[in-house]
Amino acid sequence: MKLSISKNVHLVEPGDFEPTDHWYPRVLNSNIHPLVAYFLNLSHEQIAERYHRLHPQSDLETLMEILRYQPQYFRWAGTDLMHVTNHEGNRKLTVIETNSCPSGQKSMPLLDLNVEQGGYKRLIEQTFKPMVNAHQMEGALAVIYDKNPMENIGYAATVADVFGENVYLAKFDKADIDPPVKFEDGVMFIKNEKEEWVQIRASFRYVTQEPWTRLPEKTKTLILNPIEACLAGGRNKEIASAAYDVFNEKYKDKGIGIFTPKTFRKVKYAELQGHFDRLGGSMVIKVPDSNAGQGVYTVISQSELDHAMSEIDPNDEYLIQELIHSNFSRNLDPTSAWYHVGTIPDSKGRSFAFDLRLMMHATEEGIRPLAVYSRRSRFPLNQELPEDMNSWEVYGTNLSIKGEDGWTYADERLMLFDIRNFGQLGLGIDELIKGFVQSTMAVYAIDQNAIKSYGNSAIKDYINH
């Protein structure tokens, strides 16, 4: 990549893409599992028909409508799901959260070995480029970000290649008192090497840390994703949960719904103890607008509750979810208790909790899966937790670690969907289909909430194009 042309800005040119810079080393040397490749190539008709076979009460025509949906705001998303079972052995994929502008490309083996830019290129060519082409505005192209340079430099280089023009790559940190990005009357500008402000016609965005502090609504510069997608649930767990409930009520007669752990919204600090007691001495506390594993507390004891309450703001309201448990217990409510299926036991008999990150994007044919990988917990589900260890070690799967000098990733817990790792997860193609349909419904619900909350967007020109 070229040297900085100004503070926190690089100019990326066509031909700058270097695969070794944009994937974890072990991903570069991995081969996608054939079953995963087969799943990624399934048509909407195949996915809907199979989901209908697995859920006979579901309406096939409604499933097709949702898979073919064209989001106006939320055109690139990632859901985190978990593989769970209940007392009767009914296995499901449950939606834990949905993210606008998700990470994941660096963890995804190539679907086609002849396309070295992999999912980076599919997202830029099939989602970003048609939007930009339909957006009539003068100016340069940009990628703005606040973490994850491995992927964002890759996106900038891909945009440069796909459009055949130079791209401004700008770091847009929340704490930056002199940022290289600004907005005037809804138009984005980025500072160049001459300290001049360059107008931007369209920008790919990976600004994920409280992005509403920097990005305005209703921008004239095209942004993927616009801030409206975050505000409507893509970066707020509480608003997303409400959107899921609206979706489930609307479609209950069609036999479909978004499955999540039992959730309580707008829980006051003083009410946390009561929820803990009613839920049988375990729960998950979530700060609604946190992400990357920050602001999430798994609680399985009074001491963990006391610790969580010492860390969070007494003046805020919280999202409470029923914990997905490590092992079967007769003390739990059989009507609502769910358990981690976990990984296939290893040679030492250990099974770990894991999640699935499923990234998807809007294409001209509808919503399509783009990348998928898993992350496992540090400590196994089926061993006694040492007294000096907290329950996050058993239940927490996020790889992001926030240090004093920025973000790092515990990639030793990354489970690739490749020939070597995928079998350890115990997943089949039916689970991938169920997860994708759940994820698509979540994206649909949040996008519908954005339309209701913010009206039509600049993207509608492309949707109607």
User: Between residues 373 and 287, which one has the greater pLDDT?
Assistant: 373
Which residues have a Cβ under 8 Å from the Cβ of 124 and sit 6 or more positions away?
155, 158, 159, 162, 204
What's the rounded Cα separation, in Å, for the pair 382 and 364? Answer: 45
CB 412: neighbour CB atoms within 10 A?
Answer: 9
Q: What residue spans of 29-112 are helical by DSSP H? A: 34-40, 44-54, 60-67
pLDDT digits (tens, 9 = 90+) for 96-133: 999 999 999 999 999 999 999 999 999 999 999 999 99
pLDDT in tens, 250-265: 999 999 999 999 999 9
The average pLDDT across 316-330 equals: 88
Q: pTM of the prediction?
A: 0.93
The set of residues, in sequence order, having a beta carbon less than 8 Å from that of 417 and lying 6+ positions away, is: 32, 33, 36, 108, 109, 372, 373, 374
Give the integer Cα–Cα distance in Å for 173 and 128: 23
pLDDT for residue 245:
97
Contact call for residues 429 and 39 (beta carbons, < 8 A)? yes
Q: Is the pLDDT of residue 401 over 90?
A: no
